[in-house]
Structure 1
């Protein structure tokens, strides 16, 4: 039986696994796919995480992440606002970053198993986890870091699944001359918005969130991009004059921003499994890293004091809410300013005329360094 099993090998899962292994615990991480692979993700990380990453030798300097210092926002009609980012961030592909962290985890002694966990039960202080192949794995603690939406969520009967989500996410990597190397651009279209920013080298990440009604109306993703997204002149130019590096897009359906539980059936949720911020600047990546930090520290502290599961769960719920609940709520409110012709136009115009308003909105999407 393992001290800790981590389900999901994204940022939250990998950082948890590394920190807990360094603390002397036996850790197994389950990730269905083999690294490297792409994820639907904004691939921009707020600089709030940099002090923590550097302190723990987890900043991917050797991957040469891009440095993002500018923000470009456009309405559906093409009215645009450009401004400097007070905190800024860096761009890095999940294809490279997750593989790099996985290699670090293995070097630390984390066992990584490429299987899907499909069932979880908790009885007499022990988790029994069943993989797709039917094998059972036991642990004292289980961390759920399996992302936005999972078959395991259904098995656990999590409450957020009761409400269907109308959103889908689409991602490409491109080469383009239409976006500055140091900016993150956020371009509105009817029913959604599209983020573009540089990751490594000459590669840019293009990732958009769209209401599914757009896909239903136009019949396919390419037609939706040609007839809906291209109504924004910036997006029209990006799609028509850029080289798309994927044979087909990465797509995820039913992205939900409903409130989730940081702890469910004694499983400690981390990253998007605990709650997903609207992807206005891709700061879900920063939140995933921060959540992994606080959870790992609480586990180590609790074990040192003799282990009290109820206290650990209550402490994590409380700290998670203190750090992230209001940020997620603000993200949901700010999201309403995007994807509408009239509101997006008003937001850009107001931001151009009153820079304090624009700065205020930006600060609501970024956290503070830790």
Structure 2
């Protein structure tokens, strides 16, 4: 029988939120274990554009994205299903970097500052006597005072935890690919097509990241991804031009299904949820990576206060995290849902585009509503 190892904080999932938290907490001399089912580096289905709001926090974590090859982005393009295009400057700006690159850099830094990373998957979590007992697929057992859930959009663990959103089937499918070709370094584009939308931006190594989301019921009418793209995605002239004049980097595109935009609880079963595990903003607003990093900062700062006895008890910690999470993200998520609903109606989106051309200041306003403010480091 394996010995139960104890940590101050156990983090389930080693993506952006999990690794950022691990670095932050380890820098404050807490013992941290990250349990991640995949090895690094690994490509993930993701838009790979991040708002500059996180740069001060990444600097605090000793991560320099531009030394890793990130592309500075300060322009935004939006097109409708009828290939009508709008362009604007990004109020805050951002950068493009792959999850392959950024997750790997964060994992190396986490190990460097004292975090432990275990390649395994969590099978069960029990909470009793103000402590967690976590069991993994490889029969490891761990105890921890705090558990952070940072395992992504959906997991079998959500079923075990009886989370409400996992009970509802979601119709969305996402496809991601890297290609080589001609695309401006400083632009992030969002091109709509019937039943979906595609984000386009440069990342390190001059690769172009394309990541689109669509309704699976529409997608399954076609024999494969290529057939779907040629019959649906290509109807947007900008996407047709990009996909027809570039060379794939991956052997096959990456896909993920059952993407849920239903409401989730940021704290469940006393687990502090971060990143996509806490909520998923519509990719149409293109800032999920930034939200994951921001949520890690909020959680880590409050957890450190808890261990330093600056917070009275677990209940106070959970309530404060929920309050700060809502202040940071509730409005963003609401805006994201509204924008996505509007652009899911092709005729209405065309009318909106005409309105945005008449009132160009509205688009930067919407962007600000989904991109937050530059993070402060306390």
Write the mapping of 1:341-352 to structure 2, written as runs, cut at 5 A: 341-352=346-357
Given that 2:20 and 2:61 are in contact with CA atoms closer than 8 Å, whether structure 1 keeps it comes out as: no
Q: Does 1:364 align with 2:369?
A: yes
Write the mapping of 1:133-144 to structure 2, written as runs, cut at 5 A: 133-144=138-149
Partner of 1:87: 92
The whole-number CA distance in structure 1 between the counterparts of 2:285 and 2:39 is 27
Given that 2:48 and 2:99 are in contact with CA atoms closer than 8 Å, whether structure 1 keeps it comes out as: yes
The whole-number CA distance in structure 2 between the counterparts of 1:111 and 1:51 is 25
Q: Does 1:250 align with 2:271?
A: no
Cα distance change of structure 1 residues 184 and 281 upon mapping to structure 2, 3 Å threshold = farther
1:135, distance to aligned residue in structure 2 (A): 2.2
SS at match of 1:61: coil
SS at match of 1:119: strand
The whole-number CA distance in structure 2 between the counterparts of 1:102 and 1:60 is 14
Partner of 1:282: 286
1:281, distance to aligned residue in structure 2 (A): 4.2
Give the total of aligned pairs. 369
Cα deviation code 1:172-192 (max 9, x no counterpart): 011121x32210111101111
The whole-number CA distance in structure 1 between the counterparts of 2:248 and 2:218 is 21
1:143, distance to aligned residue in structure 2 (A): 0.4
Q: Does 1:228 align with 2:223?
A: no
The whole-number CA distance in structure 1 between the counterparts of 2:278 and 2:344 is 26
1:363, distance to aligned residue in structure 2 (A): 1.7
SS at match of 1:355: coil
**Residue ranges of structure 1 left out of the alignment (5+ in a row):** none
Which of 263, 267, 270 matches 1:263? 267
The whole-number CA distance in structure 2 between the counterparts of 1:136 and 1:3 is 14
Partner of 1:325: 330
Q: Does 1:273 align with 2:277?
A: yes
Partner of 2:21: 16
Given that 1:127 and 1:140 are in contact with CA atoms closer than 8 Å, whether structure 2 keeps it comes out as: yes
Given that 1:48 and 1:369 are in contact with CA atoms closer than 8 Å, whether structure 2 keeps it comes out as: yes
What's the TM-score, normalizing by structure 2? 0.95
SS at match of 2:210: strand
1:122, distance to aligned residue in structure 2 (A): 0.8
What's the TM-score, normalizing by structure 1? 0.97
Which of 99, 102, 107 matches 2:104? 99
Cα distance change of structure 1 residues 320 and 166 upon mapping to structure 2, 3 Å threshold = same
